[in-house]
Amino acid sequence: MERQIYLDHAATTQPAPEVVQQMLPWLSGRYGNPSARYQLGQEADRCIAGARKQVAALIGADEGELYFTSGGTESDNWVLRACLSDRQDGKRHIITTGIEHHAILNTCARLEKEGAKVSYVMPDSEGRVDVRDIEREIQEDTVLISVMYANNEIGTLQPVREIGLLAAEYGIPFHTDAVQAVGHIPIDVKTLGITWLSASAHKFHGPKGCGFLYMRKGYELPSLLCGGAQERGLRAGTENVAGIAGMGAAARVCMAHMSGDQETVRRQRDYLIRGVESAIPGARLNGHRRMRLPNNVNFSFSGLEGAALLLLLDQDGICVSSGAACNASSEKGSHVLTAIGAPEEYQRGTVRMTLGPETTREELDYVIERLKEHVFQLREMKNA
Ligand SMILES: *Cc1c(COP(=O)(O)O)cnc(C)c1O
């Protein structure tokens, strides 16, 4: 096989070998239903309990505060919907940002159709939201502040601690979509004033279709799905035992390697940023230079189409994204780049490169060289 350089870790990550190993028995001989009372079921139940401990440790939560879901999208939907459903007090205002993942934005749009009021706070030119702008939006009937931990396109980290403090001051619950951050940077829900937190296993070297919602003790939300009594009655449906086992293993692997990996990846990130900036004129880094995910590089190039660049890089065996993976099929430009005011002539020429712990200097040198060649070539074609 030709060489493959995978620089799309924000879209998904490769399951770690330990993760796959941990999953296999639950996909074959140990297939019992965790709710069943015989041993075959009880061992599956114990497997889930073990994974819950491992995942809780990753974010400094108690085991009892974790609810397993089908992923980030479900966790996000759950919080937004549950905050507004069955309210006796008639309150219906949510504050979020204009740069959230579509799991949040499209849910908000639906809720607005159903009568909710939503305020979208806009970030500065580096993608940071200002806590004072959030405070200005607070109303009598605000029931939730939902701000992502880190942006999936440009990697900018939000001032989560300050938002947590603000929310506490006003007695408003605070949700964060931390799908891009969990497993990549240290997170301690207890010190950050987080009420609810969404995460997804496949973004931190676990399996797809599995995630969780952290709910601070005393802030349990009504269920999204109705059915059986799984997950203490709050998330119905037979558990994804293998997926949960894999997520537990992924959490353990991330805990063990986080501090080292974080530094390695951050150095590689800065190497790639410097390399691109010195090799290619008219390259514009999107997002904050320091306050960004250790693995995120997002550049816009003037005078070319990102989609064309992506295809050319693919022929070199390099996997990158032209923005957010979830948006790849839609014609509309990036709502994030628009929100940070990226110039029009750059926006279309955007590539996101998200690194992993296995990314090497040698690979990055190759990527910079190929990128440079393709950018020059595409610009020439455009000018011809
Ligand atoms: C990937 C992602 C999601 C969706 O998670 P899934 O598990 O794929 O449903 C939500 N929010 C952010 C920020 C993401 O990056």
224-259: pLDDT as tens digits: 999 999 999 999 999 999 999 999 999 999 999 998
Q: What pLDDT score does 326 carry? A: 44
Q: Which atom of ligand 1 is nearest to the CA of 10?
A: 15
For residue 101, report the distance from its CA to the centre of ligand 1, in Å: 7
Tokens 């060649």 — which residue?
A: 373
Is the pLDDT at 9 greater than 60, yes or no?
yes
* Any atom of ligand 1 within 6 Å of the Cβ of 177: yes
Tokens 């203490």 — which residue?
A: 232
- Which residue type sits at 234? L
What tokens were used for 136? 């200005």
Q: How far apart are CA 227 and CA 277, in angstroms?
A: 54
pLDDT in tens, 31-61: 999 999 999 999 999 999 999 999 999 999 9
Catalytic residue among 47, 210, 226, 326: 326
List the residue whose alpha carbon is closest to atom 6 of ligand 1. Answer: 72
For residue 148, report the distance from its CA to the centre of ligand 1, in Å: 11
Q: Would you call 326 a catalytic residue per the annotation?
A: yes
Q: Which one of 68, 77, 108, 180 would you pick to mutate in the ligand 1 pocket, going by the greatest count of ligand atoms within 8 A of its CB?
A: 180
For residue 33, report the distance from its CA to the centre of ligand 1, in Å: 27
Q: Which one of 179, 210, 293 would you pick to mutate in the ligand 1 pocket, going by the greatest count of ligand atoms within 8 A of its CB?
A: 179
Q: What pLDDT score does 86 carry? A: 82
* Any atom of ligand 1 within 6 Å of the Cβ of 179: yes
- Angle value at C-alpha 91, between 88 and 93, nearest 5 degrees: 150
Mean per-residue pLDDT, 25-30: 98
Region of residue 156 (phi > 0: left; psi between -120 and 50: alpha; otherwise: beta):
beta
- Angle value at C-alpha 326, between 367 and 381, nearest 5 degrees: 45
Query: What confidence category does residue 317 fall into, taking pLDDT thresholds of 50, 70 and 90?
Result: very high
Q: How far apart are CA 254 and CA 16, in angstroms?
A: 10
37 touches 231 (CB < 8 A): no
For residue 147, report the distance from its CA to the centre of ligand 1, in Å: 14
**pTM score > 0.85 for this model?**
yes
Q: How far apart are CA 154 and CA 67, in angstroms?
A: 29
* Any atom of ligand 1 within 6 Å of the Cβ of 243: no
* Any atom of ligand 1 within 6 Å of the Cβ of 152: yes
Q: How far apart are CA 211 and CA 70, in angstroms?
A: 5
Q: Which atom of ligand 1 is nearest to the CA of 70?
A: 7
Helical (H) or strand (E) element with 333:
none
For residue 8, report the distance from its CA to the centre of ligand 1, in Å: 14
Q: How far apart are CA 58 and CA 246, in angstroms?
A: 14
List the residue whose alpha carbon is closest to atom 10 of ligand 1. Answer: 72
Q: Indicate the DSSP class of residue 300.
A: E
Q: How many whole angstroms from its chain centre is CA 133? A: 23
Going by C-alpha positions, the residue among 264, 336, 309, 252 that lies closest to residue 54 is: 252
pLDDT in tens, 129-177: 999 999 999 999 999 999 999 999 999 999 999 999 999 999 999 999 9
Mean per-residue pLDDT, 107-119: 97
CA distances from 319 to 176, 314, 331, 359, 377 (A): 28, 6, 20, 12, 19
Q: How far apart are CA 294 and CA 267, in angstroms?
A: 8
Q: Which atom of ligand 1 is nearest to the CA of 73?
A: 9
160 touches 194 (CB < 8 A): yes
Mean per-residue pLDDT over the chain, rounded: 95
Query: What confidence category does residue 324 fall into, taking pLDDT thresholds of 50, 70 and 90?
Result: very low
pLDDT in tens, 286-316: 999 999 999 999 999 999 999 999 999 999 9
CA distances from 190 to 43, 62, 165, 203 (A): 31, 10, 12, 22
* Any atom of ligand 1 within 6 Å of the Cβ of 153: no
For residue 9, report the distance from its CA to the centre of ligand 1, in Å: 12
Mean per-residue pLDDT, 313-328: 79
What tokens were used for 333? 């430009």
Residue 302, SS3 per DSSP: coil
Contacts of residue 57, defined as CB under 8 A and 6 or more positions apart, other chains included, come to 251, 255
Q: What pLDDT score does 325 carry? A: 44
For residue 45, report the distance from its CA to the centre of ligand 1, in Å: 27
* Any atom of ligand 1 within 6 Å of the Cβ of 59: no
- Angle value at C-alpha 107, between 106 and 109, nearest 5 degrees: 60
